Structures are given as structure tokens and as C-alpha cells.
């Protein structure tokens, strides 16, 4: 599409011992991504964003969303955001069973700003096969693809847009996990779940009023998934000490800081929703910087993936990863266990878990299988049989009363 003009924004990154240089935004080949080139050290030619072993002399560019809108009424302006870049017609993929009022608002916004709907389709399953089918249904005249709704629809839309090489607009209607801005999609292929590389969205549109109206367990799920960044970064650093796996300090810092940012106002009012949305989005950026899911996914996600493989109807992702992070953090150094516990108490996280308690037997099996879920992925679970300690916590920790059966 070739909108090859650089963006105007510049952000300076101070680095001890170096002269700060600008973080330069340029457009990529599709023209809409803000591509970040981080340069540390004037005259030294060191470009060290991605964690790529010892090869720190290569230029490292990352793709980040060009447009981010987090405010009340953002959904009503969706068409405007597309119109400004002349992205018409556009395809709209939305969650199954979406509230008619939300879908109607999105479609009306497209009409109001002259954006033709090349395709409107409900997403029923999150599979590579479904994405391939939708890719063939997207007209060649289509200029952008919109994902509207929850995780399943957004993952399918993101991957379909990647296949079609189209700009992707992520429009989450709840904040249940960090997937809306991650550079990967969680899909099944042949019945087996896997993470598929897609690159991050080119635009993130979060209507705070819409997200605030989402069922409370979805908000708790987002809180749980956010807290899992503490344990993920700890596992990443452990992998460095045990196996020499490179750690990108900036990505780790962003991931940790995103949790503390939300902890400043961990309530579900408009400001709290904005903070949670921002924190989850920044985790997607951290993954793009690292070139892997390490800043956002560790042993707690391995347990969740193992649960997904055996449960007839998996629970909300963030309720699983959050509970696993609470357990795992008790094995790790530092005070993350106390911080996670305090945050869960303040937000009422455990209330949503108790509404549908986990199976202790399923968790025992999941913890046992977790280290083998992802090949060559070192975590605290690689070092010990954690279940005896988890079982003791489940039996004696007051916070976990009613969460397992």
C-alpha cells in the first residue's frame, strides 16, 4: 500500500553511559504501523531492542500500533479512524452472540463515515482452518480488517488480516486478557492449540464505556492475566541464570511496570478500565520488543495451557493464569506473591473463581504436565515438583477457600 512517510513523534530513551538518541518512528511497507528503531549510544551504532543472543549490533525494528484510542464513545468514531486513512471498504469480524447494540453502533459508525462493509461475519471458532476460510471470503478490494469483541474473534481477525496482508484494527469489548495487542494469535490447528505469529494490530480502539459494561468476571480475568506478568518475568530471568537465555531488559521493565501502573487504581471505574487497557496493551508491545511471549507468559501460562488441553470447557484464561501466578509466585524470590495477593483481595478476583471452582485433580495433572507443554521453555516448574507445595496452599491458604473442589 506504500504510504512511505515517517511519523513525526520522537521519544528519547536515557541510557547510563550513553548519549540519549531518539526513538524514531517510520512507516513500514504497509504504511500504517509505527515502526520503532531504538538507538543507544551516539556514534556506537548499537541497536539492541530484540533479545537475539549476542548479536546486538543489528538494527532492531519493531511494529507497534499507529493509532490508539481509549475513551468513551470510541466505538462511535471507529468509522472516522478508518476514514482518516481512506481504508474503505473494510471487513468486520465479530464475536458470537455479541450484544446487538454494540454491533449496531460499530456498523452505524462505518456508515456515518462512508466506510463500506466488504464483509461482516460472526466468529464461531478460533482455528487456523477458520481463518483460512475467512481469508478466502475477504474481497480483494478490502483495505482493512476489524476485529470486534472478545479473545476468540480478535485472534481470528488478527490472523486473517495477517494472511490477507491487511491493516488490522483491534476493537475489544472487554479486557479479559492481553491478546488484543499481542503479536500472536492463540488458535487451534487440527484440534491442538498453538500460538501463531501475526504481528501486533495497527490500531487499538477501546471504548471505555463498553468495556466497563462487560460482565465482572471478564474484568477479573484481565486483572489475573496482567498479574501473571510478574511470574513470567521472574521465569524469564531464571532461564537466563540457568540456561543463558537472553533477557531484554526494556521488555521486562515494560511488563513489570504495566502491573504497577494498574495497581495505582485497581478499580473498575473509567480510570481503572483505562489503566487496565493500557497495561494489557503495553504487554503486547513488550512481546513485540522481545520477539517472544517471554515478557507476558511463563510457568503460569504453561499450567493454563495444560488445563485447556484437558478441560471440556476451559475457564476464562485470566482466571486460570492469575490463580496459577498466585501459586507459582510463592516459589519464586521476591515479594510478588504478596503483591498479587493484595491486588486480588482489593479487586475481588477470587469472587469470580469461586463462582465456578477449579478441579483440584485437573490442576494436579496440569501442574505435572506443564513443564512439557512448550519445548525448551525453562521456568521454575522445570526445577521441582511444585504440586505438593501448591496442594498445601490450596488446603491452608485462606484466600483460596472455595476456589478448588
Domain ranges of the chain: 1-64, 68-212, 216-400
pLDDT of residue 11: 33
Average pLDDT, the chain: 86
Cell digits of residue 381: 516448574
Going by C-beta distance under 8 Å and a sequence separation of 6 or more, which residues neighbour residue 399?
A: 326, 341, 344, 345, 350
| Segment 272-292 mean pLDDT | 95
**Would the pLDDT of 20 be above 60?**
no
Burial class (CB in 10 A: 0-12, 13-18, 19+), 47: middle
Q: How many other CB atoms are found less than 10 A from the CB of residue 119?
A: 16
**pTM recorded for the entire structure:** 0.85
Strand partners, 11: 23
| Interval 352-367 mean pLDDT | 96
Greatest mean pLDDT range, 86-95, 126-135, 185-194: 86-95
Domain 68-212 has CATH 3.40.50.1970: yes
Mean pLDDT of the region 35-45 = 37
Give domain 216-400's CATH superfamily. Answer: Dehydroquinate synthase-like - alpha domain (1.20.1090.10)
pLDDT above 90 as % of the chain? 76
Q: How far apart are CA 176 and CA 127, in angstroms?
A: 19
For residue 44 the three cell numbers come to 556506537
Q: What's the confidence (pLDDT) of residue 55? A: 47
User: 17 pLDDT exceeds 70?
Assistant: no
Give CA–CA dist 81/63, Å, rounded: 19
How confident is the model at residue 60, as a pLDDT? 64
Name residue, grid cell 501442574. Answer: 367
**DSSP secondary structure code for residue 40 in this structure:** B
At 342 the pLDDT is 97
pLDDT digits (tens, 9 = 90+) for 135-169: 999 999 999 999 999 989 999 999 999 999 999 99
Question: What SS3 class is residue 342?
Answer: helix
Task: Work out the number of other CB atoms within 10 angstroms of the CB of residue 237.
Answer: 18
Q: How confident is the model at residue 32 (pLDDT cuts 50, 70, 90)?
A: very low
Asked whether the predicted pLDDT for residue 50 surpasses 50, the reply is: no
- Residue 9, classed as helix, strand or coil, is coil
Instruction: Average the pLDDT over 25-35 and give the result.
Output: 37
Mean pLDDT is highest, among 21-25, 61-65, 280-284, for: 280-284
322 contacts 227 by C-beta, under 8 angstroms? yes
Amino acid at each position: 500500500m506504500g504510504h512511505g512517510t515517517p511519523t513525526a513523534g520522537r521519544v528519547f530513551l536515557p541510557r547510563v553511559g550513553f548519549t540519549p538518541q531518539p526513538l524514531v518512528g517510520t512507516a513500514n511497507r504497509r504504511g500504517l504501523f509505527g515502526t520503532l528503531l531504538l538507538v543507544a549510544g551516539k556514534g556506537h551504532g548499537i541497536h539492541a531492542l530484540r533479545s537475539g543472543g549476542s548479536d546486538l549490533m543489528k538494527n532492531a525494528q519493531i511494529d507497534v500500533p499507529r493509532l490508539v484510542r481509549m475513551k468513551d464513545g470510541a466505538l462511535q468514531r471507529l468509522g472516522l479512524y478508518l476514514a482518516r486513512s481512506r481504508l474503505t471498504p473494510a471487513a468486520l469480524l465479530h464475536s458470537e452472540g455479541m450484544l446487538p447494540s454494540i454491533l449496531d453502533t460499530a456498523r452505524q459508525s462505518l456508515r456515518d463515515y462512508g466506510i463500506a462493509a466488504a464483509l461482516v461475519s460472526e466468529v464461531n471458532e478460533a482455528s487456523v482452518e477458520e481463518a483460512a476460510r475467512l481469508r478466502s471470503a475477504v474481497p480483494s478490494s478490502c483495505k482493512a480488517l476489524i476485529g470486534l469483541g472478545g479473545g476468540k474473534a480478535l485472534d481470528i481477525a488478527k490472523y486473517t488480516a495477517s494472511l490477507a496482508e491487511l491493516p488490522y484494527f483491534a476493537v475489544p469489548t472487554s479486557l479479559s486478557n492481553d491478546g488484543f495487542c499481542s503479536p500472536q494469535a492463540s488458535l487451534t490447528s487440527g484440534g491442538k492449540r498453538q500460538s501463531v505469529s501475526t504481528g501486533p494490530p495497527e490500531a487499538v480502539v477501546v471504548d471505555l464505556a463498553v468495556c466497563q459494561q462487560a460482565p465482572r468476571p471478564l474484568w477479573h480475568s484481565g486483572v489475573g492475566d496482567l498479574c501473571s506478568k510478574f511470574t513470567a518475568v521472574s521465569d524469564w530471568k531464571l532461564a537466563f541464570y540457568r540456561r543463558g537465555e537472553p533477557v531484554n531488559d526494556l521488555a521486562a521493565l515494560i511488563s513489570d511496570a504495566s502491573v504497577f501502573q494498574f495497581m495505582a487504581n485497581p478499580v473498575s471505574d473509567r480510570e481503572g478500565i483505562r489503566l487496565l487497557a493500557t497495561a494489557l496493551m503495553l504487554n503486547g508491545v513488550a512481546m513485540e520488543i522481545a520477539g517472544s511471549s517471554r515478557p507476558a507468559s511463563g510457568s503460569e501460562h504453561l499450567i493454563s495451557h495444560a488445563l485447556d488441553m484437558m478441560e471440556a470447557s476451559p475457564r476464562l484464561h485470566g482466571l486460570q493464569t492469575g490463580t496459577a501466578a498466585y501459586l507459582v509466585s510463592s516459589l519464586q524470590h521476591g515479594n510478588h506473591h504478596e503483591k498479587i495477593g493484595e491486588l486480588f483481595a482489593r479487586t475481588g478476583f477470587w469472587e469470580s473463581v469461586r463462582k465456578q471452582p477449579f478441579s483440584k485433580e485437573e490442576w494436579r495433572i496440569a501442574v505435572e504436565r506443564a513443564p512439557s507443554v512448550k519445548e525448551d521453555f525453562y521456568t521454575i516448574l522445570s526445577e521441582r515438583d511444585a504440586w505438593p507445595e501448591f496442594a498445601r496452599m490450596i488446603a491452608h491458604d485462606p484466600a483460596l477457600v472455595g476456589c478448588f473442589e
